[in-house]
Amino acid sequence: MCGIVGYLGPRQAYPIIITGLKRQEYRGYDSTGVALINNDLTVYKKKGKVTELEQSLIGIDVSAHIGIGHTRWATHGEPSDKNAHPHQSASGKLAMIHNGIIENYNQLKQELLNKGYQFKSDTDTEVLLNFIEEIQLNNQCTLEEALRIALKRVAGAYVILILDENNPDTIIAARKGSPLVIGIGKGEHFLGSDATPMLEYTKEVVYVNDYEIAIIKADELILKNLGNERQTPYISKLDLELAAIEKGGFEHFMLKEIFEQPITIYDCLRGRLDAAAGTITMAGVQKYILELTSANRIIILACGTSWHAALLAEYVIEELCRIPVEVDYASEFRYRNPIIAQGDVIIAISQSGETADTLVAIEKAKEAGAIIFGVVNVVGSSIARVSHAGAYTHAGPEIGVASTKAFTAQLVLMIMIALKIAKEKSSISHQRYSHLLFELEDLPQKVEAILKNADELKVIAEKYKDVSDALYLGRGYNFPIALEGALKLKEVSYIHAEGYPAAEMKHGPIALVDEKLPVVFIATRDESHGKIVSNIQEIKARKGKVIAIITEGDEIIPGMADDVFFVPPADEIVAPLLSTIPLQLLSYYLGVAKGCDVDKPRNLAKSVTVE
Ligand code: F6R
């Protein structure tokens, strides 16, 4: 959470920082600020989105060749001008931006208050900055030295960038637990929480590691550990184009990303699946195939939408591989005392690869001796790097805060992993294996066909835009999709929604049903079709409104539902992927119809790097 950007070099820093912040607004967008040095250190900051700060600075001379910028997701202190970053030290000479949480900030603050410090904001960031300055003044040492001493006292997660008016050619940065990417240009450097601020300038980047400090000048990058030892920067090549992070003619990133799914699913399958040859090639899985096939148990850890992908994966792996699977919220796993036994394999699913709870949970499991397998979208992210092995979902950058294309790519990848293990274990018949490979191969064109009918969902959304609650029901493989449909609706339209296994309805949620409540059924044709038809009847008998996602050719449900949307026929294991698409579109159109900011829903951030 929170996006950070920095630049130093021959170009004007301000436009690079503002553009970079706009690209990182998915990380938080409740306040914005920049600090620039042009002889003097100047800070401009404001509650609100990046464009609001930009508007307020029209006509002001913002020329500078060095600067840092921040887009915030509030943790300590409400969104306000005073709590916006950058913060300045008591002397006014230092400015700092921060992504993360300083857990012991209260203790540090008390020490500083005892020494007479006063604070202008409610943030942990201002405390840390003054703590660093206090050490510098006390020890008469360099800022770098003071930072090193300070960080040894700090508990929590951080990426910080500091500007020092007395050293106007240097940015000092440090990282632990939150991401920091440094772009290497010719006589210039770019900094970001991800690589998007530097895309048009360089393809060479360094991912800073935990407990490293970077001393950055226009033509020099020095990395050191907290023991003051020089580290060799490892330069990676970026495989990301500017077009991938632009709206490409769509009104919102969310819509663009929903419509990209035929391609992203194809990209996830490409080079891996060969249905005709009957092969799935995944080097990461192959590397640990013995451990995977002989695992006593697989534990899948994730949060939010990725947790829904994990739940579907549980159903699929248990069915195809006959290996017991447990799915846990990473936030719960990390704080309880889970049993990790010899032979357990942990799979972490994460779009961003930076979710703090998931990251810490796998670090804990790794320490306990488990094998960690990462299913991650963002290349080079922390979870990908901590994992022993893994596979990228290859969905490309997901900018809309509500996850769409990353989710379907996670499902595709997890089904491929299950199939690969099942084949190796011989727990699947050759016929079923081959059938599912072809089913996966057909997915992009089926998704394409669904998207052609997107307007039907717009019409349905118009009809229901004034409801205050909704219920999502599905059985078996469709239950995780009911959860995901409900989450998507809540996120982008602020309509309260709950997902339940359809059979659980009778154990409580049915009390909610009246003539105003829409109930969304994921009712594609499978073995439980007859049962879900009965559930629909039960809702209709209580005058509830039924919206049903059903398989083409279904002649029963259209006769009883208020609204239906058809998806192409598919095997029950891949059908949930198809049902996901109309639910994403329904949420999107409802959010738009209600005038919500679907790309940046209130209170959310894409990359949850705080616990
Ligand atoms: C919902 C959404 C979140 C994320 C969750 C985990 O649309 O995007 O629920 O799924 O914050 O994030 P990742 O997958 O990046 O670990």
**Dist. CA 169 → ligand 1 center (Å):** 38
DSSP code at position 514: S
402 lines ligand 1 (CB under 6 A): yes
CA distance 444 to 267: 10
Would the pLDDT of 453 be above 80?
yes
pLDDT for 197 equals: 96
- Average pLDDT value for the chain: 95
pLDDT for 555 equals: 95
In the residue annotation, 203 being an active-site residue is answered as no
pLDDT for 603 equals: 85
CA distance 83 to 72: 9
Angle at 524 between CA 523 and CA 528, to 5 degrees: 70
The residue whose CA has the least distance to atom 9 of ligand 1 is 304
Would the pLDDT of 506 be above 90?
no
What Rg do the C-alpha atoms of the chain give, in angstroms?
25
Residue 138, number of CB atoms within 10 A of its CB: 11
**Which ligand 1 atom lies nearest to the CA of residue 607?**
15
pLDDT for 605 equals: 79
pLDDT for 379 equals: 86
Per-residue pLDDT tens over the stretch 310-339: 999 999 999 999 999 999 999 999 899 999
Would the pLDDT of 142 be above 80?
yes
**Which ligand 1 atom lies nearest to the CA of residue 491?**
7
Q: From 334, 352, 600, give the residue whose CB has the most ligand 1 atoms within 8 Å, as the site to mutate.
A: 352
DSSP-H helix ranges across 59-195: 105-114, 124-139, 143-153
Average pLDDT on 436-455 reads 98
Residue 233, number of CB atoms within 10 A of its CB: 18
In the residue annotation, 141 being an active-site residue is answered as no
**Which ligand 1 atom lies nearest to the CA of residue 383?**
16
**Which ligand 1 atom lies nearest to the CA of residue 402?**
7
**Dist. CA 533 → ligand 1 center (Å):** 32
The residue whose CA has the least distance to atom 4 of ligand 1 is 304
Q: Where are the beta strands (DSSP E) in 351-408?
A: 371-376, 389-392
The residue whose CA has the least distance to atom 11 of ligand 1 is 304
pTM, two decimals, is: 0.86
Q: Which of 152-161, 400-409, 509-518 has the highest mean pLDDT?
A: 400-409
Average pLDDT on 219-240 reads 94
**Dist. CA 306 → ligand 1 center (Å):** 6
Percentage of the chain modeled with pLDDT above 70: 100
Per-residue pLDDT tens over the stretch 528-551: 899 999 999 999 999 999 999 999
Q: How confident is the model at residue 608 (pLDDT cuts 50, 70, 90)?
A: confident
CA distance 329 to 138: 45
**Dist. CA 304 → ligand 1 center (Å):** 5
| Termini Cα distance of the chain | 10
Contact partners, residue 151, CB within 8 Å, separation at least 6: 174, 176, 211, 213, 226
Per-residue pLDDT tens over the stretch 33-57: 999 999 999 999 999 999 999 999 9
DSSP helix, strand, coil percent of the chain (3-state; round to 5): 40, 25, 35
403 lines ligand 1 (CB under 6 A): yes
587 lines ligand 1 (CB under 6 A): no
Chain centroid offset of residue 385 CA: 16
pLDDT for 469 equals: 96
**Dist. CA 89 → ligand 1 center (Å):** 35
Q: How confident is the model at residue 240 (pLDDT cuts 50, 70, 90)?
A: confident
**Dist. CA 490 → ligand 1 center (Å):** 14
Long-range interactions of 40-47: CB distance < 8 A, separation 24+? 40/165, 41/88, 41/92, 41/93, 41/94, 41/95, 41/163, 41/164, 41/165, 43/86, 43/88, 43/95, 45/70, 45/81, 45/84, 45/85, 45/86, 46/81, 46/84, 47/79, 47/80, 47/81, 47/84
